[in-house]
């Protein structure tokens, strides 16, 4: 018990079992756990979610990329993906398929990072990337407590990955909007890319993510060579669900 607020209370709030937290309690939680601005906003979203009541499971629309965005990123030479709320790759352009070919047929970023040994070779800063992935999933899970598919994903990762279990227990909440990725690609060699994500208006939980190299850098030249090389079949994005025609352009950065 810290300042009258227990860690168990926060867990109940996150699980949707604490419906009416007062402003005083929210302020106490922010102070006791030393929450930064992003975590504080997440806490208030949890409180608002509780007042509205928990939502139902995600519909199929969240698992299909808007067709206009698929066409848009298809015209880009910059690697770009559309991610679903459970961090599944819903769509990817040719450049992203070449960049992420190491994933094989895996479409889920969490399963790749924690269950595929290739991820630790691909991500030179694996621990940092893994923690960011978990923090993003934690934020999504807290706002979708009745999403059975998401719960199944978390359960699978808890059963099969000690690293995921350790990080999940830390209750870190961070929505990755901008992050440096140091990658070791089997064809392009070492790459340093900036990942930037944007919300997709009209498709709750979806993100549009791009990977960019610094202009004039060795990474830019290596990425250009990789993208210009025809990609082989069998990558994760080749098996993406069919796009749909729901309206909603990409919004501001972040989730």
**Domain identity same for 44 and 110:** no
* Residue 101: per-residue pLDDT: 97
Residue 1 domain-assigned (yes or no) = no
> Taking the CB of residue 113, how many other CB atoms lie within 10 A of it?
25
**Domain identity same for 182 and 239:** yes
Which residues span the domain enclosing 111?
A: 61-253
**Domain identity same for 33 and 133:** no
* Residue 13: per-residue pLDDT: 62
Residues 6+ apart with CB under 8 A from 59: none
* Residue 60: per-residue pLDDT: 43
**Domain identity same for 206 and 227:** yes
Q: What share of the chain is helix, strand, coil (3-state, %, to 5)?
A: 45, 20, 35
**Domain identity same for 115 and 88:** yes
Indicate if the pLDDT at residue 251 is higher than 80. Answer: no
Q: Which residue has the higher pLDDT, 140 or 58?
A: 140
* Residue 59: per-residue pLDDT: 43
* Residue 57: per-residue pLDDT: 45
**Domain identity same for 208 and 190:** yes
Q: What is the pLDDT of residues 184-204, one digit of tens each?
A: 999 999 999 999 999 998 888
Q: How many domains is the chain partitioned into structurally?
A: 2
**Domain identity same for 112 and 68:** yes
Average pLDDT of the segment spanning 138-163: 90
* Residue 203: per-residue pLDDT: 87
Could you tell me the pLDDT band of residue 245, with boundaries at 50, 70 and 90? Answer: low
236 closest CA partner among 94, 101, 50: 101
**Domain identity same for 77 and 25:** no
Indicate if the pLDDT at residue 241 is higher than 60. Answer: no
- Burial letters for 129-155: b for 16+ Cβ neighbours within 10 Å, e otherwise? bbbbbbbbbbbbbbbbbebeebeebbe
Indicate if the pLDDT at residue 136 is higher than 80. Answer: yes
Q: What is the pLDDT of residues 29-87, one digit of tens each?
A: 666 556 666 566 656 655 555 544 444 444 444 688 999 999 999 999 999 999 999 99
Residue 2 domain-assigned (yes or no) = no
Q: What is the mean pLDDT of the chain?
A: 81
Residue 44 domain-assigned (yes or no) = yes
Q: What is the pLDDT of residues 8-33, one digit of tens each?
A: 666 666 665 665 666 776 676 666 55
**Domain identity same for 13 and 69:** no
Q: What is the pTM of this model?
A: 0.74
125 closest CA partner among 177, 170, 192: 192
Indicate if the pLDDT at residue 1 is higher than 50. Answer: no
* Residue 38: per-residue pLDDT: 56
**Domain identity same for 84 and 142:** yes
């Amino acid at each position: 018990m810290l300042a009258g607020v227990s860690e168990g209370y926060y867990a109940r709030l996150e699980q949707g079992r604490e419906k009416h937290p007062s402003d005083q309690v929210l302020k106490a939680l922010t102070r006791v756990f030393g929450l930064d601005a992003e975590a504080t906003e997440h806490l208030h979203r949890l409180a608002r979610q509780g007042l509205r009541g928990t939502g139902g499971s995600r519909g199929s629309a969240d698992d299909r990329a808007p067709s206009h965005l698929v066409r848009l990123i298809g015209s880009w030479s910059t690697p770009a993906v559309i991610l679903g709320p459970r961090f599944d790759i819903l769509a990817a352009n040719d450049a992203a398929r070449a960049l992420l070919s190491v994933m094989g047929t895996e479409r889920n970023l969490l399963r790749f990072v924690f269950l595929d040994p290739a991820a630790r070779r691909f991500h030179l800063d694996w621990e940092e990337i893994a923690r960011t992935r978990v923090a993003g999933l934690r934020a999504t899970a807290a706002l979708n407590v009745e999403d059975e598919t998401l719960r199944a994903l978390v359960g699978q990762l808890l059963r099969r990955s000690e690293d995921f279990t350790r990080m999940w227990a830390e209750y870190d909440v961070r929505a990755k909007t901008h992050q440096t990725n140091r990658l070791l690609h089997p064809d392009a060699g070492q790459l340093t890319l900036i990942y930037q994500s944007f919300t997709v208006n009209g498709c709750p939980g979806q993100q549009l993510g791009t990977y960019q190299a610094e202009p004039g850098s060795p990474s830019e030249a290596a990425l250009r060579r990789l993208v210009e090389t025809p990609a082989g079949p069998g990558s994760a994005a080749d098996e993406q669900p069919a796009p749909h025609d729901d309206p909603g352009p990409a919004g501001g950065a972040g989730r």
